[in-house]
Chains A and B, each alone.
Chain A
């Protein structure tokens, strides 16, 4: 799983690199500079509904992890990244590590409604899992960071989270004798810098991949791998309930931003897209792998169970201009809701225990 890079990923990377501007947030928009014509209705050819085999093919696990060209995988870099990920000395208090909020014990999140940061203060949003972040197109609930390398440095410096200025962190790590030769071997030109620290942590995070779940057994042809209820749930997920309009592909997300009508004052992506109506209250669509281990749910941790999540979508959420056009009451029956939950529960694996690393002294 840890080498190689599918062609699709390579061409995607090339496409992004070729753009002159990589847009993460949005500049303020003064509309009207380009001329926009009237919108016309166009009759599209109706595609025949996909059979279950064609649908299942869309959910097959990839065989390799994509690593970026400018930060390729090596086992030594991932091993250093793992030590840094679990090292509480990366926080100003030496009490919190990346793993405090993104813990293997809770599906690589923290099991809390919202994260708890520096000084035991509650944060505004639910800690997202780092599972399958190698496939992420953009990072944070509001998409404000473009790469996993940038993401790795975000919470370390954030005053509400680990509250650690990078120059202070570099001084602290430099005083730990066993770290220095590790960085020197892996990064002979740069040595220990915020950038190399971020590259090591991101490399480790990319190796955190959801393991084979019962659902994968069914995708590969074992009809007994999941229950009949879960199979009906899969059909609903792709059909009447329309979940797959956003939770698509093997990791069950297209990384899109949607306002799903949760009643909250947090405008999410809207802070980076002033004037774009559909981005107000919009948050990044999370993947659904290991979802059974990651309660509570949603960007604000406001729903305790998968049953409540399905109820929320069934109701359609708060109807407001920013709400996604995909959100509307679904009219699901009790049986259909229960089938959807059975399907969602088939996406969790028996995660192999993660051994905590011995840290440099």
Chain B
């Protein structure tokens, strides 16, 4: 009984997390390019960086208040980033200088 409750609980958590993932905007990286050049997100809302390219990327930003660095992100991995400060965020790949995008974070 306890075991089946645990499984049910896990299924619910998994269901919620899938729902949350589906609601986020996904930035693809195929062909050494971001799928969007600019995008608007609400403060606290997650943006998913999915490396669906064939080589590693290093997505990051040094925009004040919204800094992050995903490090070397291998193909076939995805990471959510949510921004805490409203404003313009310049997101780049540290490795590939042509990969640049602008994220507008709004309240």
Contacts and interface: CB of A to CB of B under 8 A. Distances in A.
Given A42-B52, A278-B71, A16 B78 contact: no
- Interface size for chain A: under 10, 10 to 19, 20 to 34, or 35 or more residues? 35 or more
Interface stretch (A33-41, A70-78, A96-104, A334-342): A33-41
A257 B50 CA distance: 20
Contacts of A246: 55
Contacts of A300: none
Contacts of A277: 71-72
Contact of B100 (A23, A30, A257): A23
Nearest to A35: B82
Interface string B71-107: 1111111111111110011101011111011100000
B68 A42 contact: no
B75 A20 contact: no
B62 to A, nearest CB: 4
Nearest to B62: A27
Contacts of B64: 27, 33
A31 B68 contact: yes
Interface in A213-262: 245-246, 254-258
Given A39-B78, A278-B72, A255 B100 contact: no
Contact of A256 (B37, B70, B81, B95): B95
A29 B67 CA distance: 7
Contact of A37 (B62, B69, B81, B100): B81
A279 B57 CA distance: 12
A31 B58 CA distance: 14
A34 B91 CA distance: 12
Nearest to B73: A39
Given A34-B83, A37-B81, A138 B63 contact: no
B35 interface: no
A137 interface: yes
B76 A43 contact: yes
A324 B57 CA distance: 10
Contacts of A32: 67-68
A20 B88 contact: yes
A255 B100 CA distance: 14
A273 interface: yes
B61 interface: yes
B97 to A, nearest CB: 4
Contacts of B68: 31-34, 36
Contact of B94 (A41, A255, A278): A278
A19 B83 CA distance: 18
A137 B67 contact: no
Contacts of A26: 62, 94
Given A18-B38, A19-B100, A254-B32, A278 B67 contact: no
Contacts of B84: 33-35
Given A256-B96, A257-B95, A44 B52 contact: yes
A241 B102 CA distance: 35
B88 A325 contact: no
Given A19-B90, A42-B50, A12 B98 contact: yes
20 contacts: A18-B102, A19-B100, A29-B69, A30-B67, A31-B67, A33-B64, A33-B67, A33-B68, A33-B84, A34-B67, A35-B81, A35-B82, A36-B81, A37-B46, A37-B81, A39-B79, A40-B79, A41-B76, A42-B50, A278-B94
Interface of B: 32, 37-38, 46, 50, 52, 54-56, 58, 60-85, 88-90, 92, 94-98, 100-102
Given A27-B62, A278-B58, 19 more contacts: A18-B102, A19-B90, A21-B90, A26-B62, A26-B94, A31-B68, A32-B68, A34-B61, A34-B81, A36-B68, A36-B79, A37-B79, A39-B70, A39-B77, A257-B95, A276-B94, A277-B71, A282-B95, A325-B74
